[in-house]
Chain A
Amino acid sequence: MVTETATRNLSYIQAINEALRQEMSRDPAVIVMGEDVAGGAGREDQGIIDSWGGPMRLTKGLITEFGADRVRDTPISEAGFIGAGVGAAATGLRPVVELMYVSFFGVCADQITNNAAKMRYMFGGKITLPLTIMTGMGAGLNTAAQHSETLYSIFTHFPGLKGVVPSDPYTAKGLMISAIRDDDPVILFNNRQLMGISANVHVPEEAYEFPIGKARILREGDDVTLVGIGYTTYIADQAAGLLADDGISAEVIDLLSTSPMDEETILESVQRTRKVVIVDEDYPRCSVASDISALVAEQAFDYLDAPPVRVNPPHTSVPYSRPLEALYMPTPDKVIDAVNEVMG
């Protein structure tokens, strides 16, 4: 009998990379495309290969293991290569396409919202579209308004698209694998700050799925429910730790999937704690936070001791200047203020 005692730590980047490697080994239909996913393309004869391994280094080593046929650097042509991912997915491949920053989705929005999201429905269910788009996001790194947005909410609006937002290396690996194996288009949102945080969580070596559409309870509590999404789960959990010192027992729900969304886990928790604070780095209007707030107000109204409170950034673009950006971000202090508000 093997008893697993040691914790196997991987960084967020290593976890995604391992998931890609394992799925590419398992299934020859899995290909990877994107800008600089290998780097230095076309210079293998000069001994140059894999010089980048992706803008966030998520795809490092894939080309040396799987070859340039399956690991393709693309020109900077998002409409072209995201659209090509749709066509390839419709005809037998399982492409993983990297959109470097989610703010660039506007360049290829038509391919995502009119083709990827709608083709199966429009065609009467006659195709599957196993496309995975992975994309970087998140503020706090001094990269200004066009490289710092947290845009998962807008994709949640479209039927036909699935959205997953890992919160640590464990969920990153499991959700990446689930996204690749899923027969619908899935967008995997990678927060850049999480890539720099060393999380002490166990990441099994074998391939595993984390179910799309399921939240998890990261910390159990009785007094208030905190809902986090990706990086804000980390913030919410920090706040919960501080609240515990003050004798407040906060339950932390790690949402993980924005679409489909695990309504049951949220409602069950709120019915117990009777209070909810939703922490979301996306813009406040028409956000996942406002969606959860509506869900709770509509379906758990009679259980609530206080109205739901949302912790979002203000309705403004992400500022460049560091002091302003620090004000912009959701923080544990802001979460604690919100908790104090709902606790009365």
Chain B
Amino acid sequence: MATTTIGIDRDTLLWMYKTMVIIRRFEEQSKREADAGKLRGMHSSIGQEAVPVGVCAHLRDDDYVLGTHRSHHHCIAKGLDINQMMAELLGKSTGTNKGKGGTMHIADIDKGMLGANGVVGSNIPVATGVGLSAKVRGTDQVSVVFFGDGAANQGTLHEAMNLAGIWKLPVIFVCENNRYAESTPVEYSVAGESIAARAEGYDMPSVIADGQSVLEMYEIGGEAVARARAGDGPTFIEAQTYRYHGHFGADDPLAYRTQEEEDYYEARDCISTMVSYLLENDVLAQDEIEAIDAAALADVVEATRFADESPFPNDGELTTDVYISYA
């Protein structure tokens, strides 16, 4: 396999680039659908694509990922079908969750996506249990939980880190620090020098990563996954990143942050910096980049068509899945 100057094979680089672009196009379309009134409460992940892509590049289908209210990028990075995802956003029966969960609850067990979750910090203990399960069953599966800087202040994170620490579980805690819990800045809400520093109290290896660099996320994610697979316990990654849009799409982020700050992060955009890297290192030519971009857009157009043309669930679905069997 061709290997580049930094030791990442070409196929992996291409997968990471293509996946980030698909996420970006998917999220742009999701926002259009929300703006058109076809769904509500869409939390855009634009700007944060590199974080799950770099980590999930090391994962197998039988590894698990757990997410947040803002999880479309986690789902795509974990390999979920975007046709089914878009159908879920529109509440259609062909969606990942049969239309019953929606944008904040996308799950696909076969792909190792154990669910986005609408309650901040709620999934972190669950991910710890997934790691416990792998350990007890004697597999080398890995559990990765993504959460935001807001969740860093929930008790659930601290309890889960302690459990993962004492039991040496194969759990990777990935904090996507996008600097804002809704409108609340991280420097106001987090005591201490960093979120990553909190892991030290649990004797857990921790690192602050540039979440705008998919190559750095790949490197750091690789070390964490290797540690977990080898049975050497959990890792805490604080990925410093930025969400370009507001908290849920309808809010104006300039009400609580500056244009200057937005410009700073957008100048370090994870996709455009990756394009520069690919071109400068002769991994891809300009026309190949354009071909990948065009293919990604076509995939999202097709996903939208699929979702639009899919039927809503039957009325009977209202009361199914409450229990295994419910008359």
Contacts and interface: CB of A to CB of B under 8 A. Distances in A.
Interface string B60-72: 0000000000000
A6 interface: no
Interface string B143-159: 00000001101111000
Given A39-B255, A39-B256, A145 B313 contact: no
A292 to B, nearest CB: 24
Nearest to A77: B153
Interface stretch (B44-52, B96-104, B265-273): B96-104
A44 to B, nearest CB: 11
A75 B153 contact: yes
A75 B312 CA distance: 38
Nearest to B89: A320
Contacts of B153: 75-77, 80
B184 A75 contact: yes
B4 interface: no
B79 interface: no
A200 interface: no
A324 B183 contact: no
B154 A36 contact: no
Interface residues of B, number: 47
Contacts of B183: 36, 39-41, 51-52
Contacts of A319: 99-100, 313, 317-318
Contacts of A78: 154
Contact of B39 (A142, A145, A323): A142
Given A142-B40, A144-B102, A76 B120 contact: yes
Contacts of B36: none
A99 B260 CA distance: 33
A314 B118 contact: no
A73 B184 contact: yes
B105 A52 contact: no
A106 B102 CA distance: 21
B281 interface: no
Given A146-B119, A328-B318, A320 B185 contact: no
B325 interface: no
A35 B151 CA distance: 12
Interface in A228-246: none
Contacts of B315: 323-324, 327
B92 A35 contact: no
Contact of B322 (A79, A107, A144, A316): A316
A284 B52 CA distance: 40
Contacts of A36: 182-184
Given A323-B312, A323-B313, A328-B318, A141 B40 contact: yes
A46 B122 CA distance: 33
Please classify the interface of chain B as helix (H, G, I), strand (E, B), loop, or mixed, using the class held by over half of its residues.
loop
A314 B322 CA distance: 11
A146 B105 contact: yes
A104 B153 CA distance: 15
A340 interface: no
A7 interface: no
A73 B180 CA distance: 13
A321 B313 contact: yes
Interface string A52-88: 1001000000000000000001011111100000000
Given A36-B184, A75-B184, A327-B318, A146 B118 contact: yes
B318 A48 contact: no
Given A48-B256, A321-B91, A324-B315, A147 B184 contact: no
A104 B120 CA distance: 9
A41 B118 contact: no
Contacts of B40: 141-143
Contact of B188 (A73, A143, A324): A73
Given A107-B122, A314-B318, A315-B322, A320 B91 contact: yes
Contacts of A43: 185, 188, 256
B102 A41 contact: no
A323 B153 CA distance: 37
B318 A324 contact: yes
Contacts of B102: 142-144, 320-321
B99 A321 contact: yes
A40 B100 contact: no
Contacts of B184: 35-36, 39-41, 73, 75-76
A145 B116 CA distance: 12
B236 to A, nearest CB: 18
A75 B186 CA distance: 9
A196 interface: no
B41 A316 contact: no
A322 interface: yes
B118 A76 contact: no
Interface of B: 39-41, 91-93, 97, 99-105, 117-122, 150-151, 153-156, 181-185, 187-190, 251, 255-258, 312-313, 315, 317-319, 322
Given A51-B255, A78-B154, 14 more contacts: A36-B184, A48-B257, A51-B183, A52-B251, A76-B120, A143-B102, A144-B41, A144-B105, A146-B119, A316-B319, A320-B100, A320-B102, A324-B99, A324-B315
20 contacts: A35-B184, A40-B257, A41-B183, A41-B188, A48-B257, A75-B150, A75-B153, A76-B189, A77-B153, A78-B154, A79-B155, A107-B156, A142-B91, A144-B101, A144-B104, A146-B104, A315-B319, A316-B319, A320-B102, A321-B102
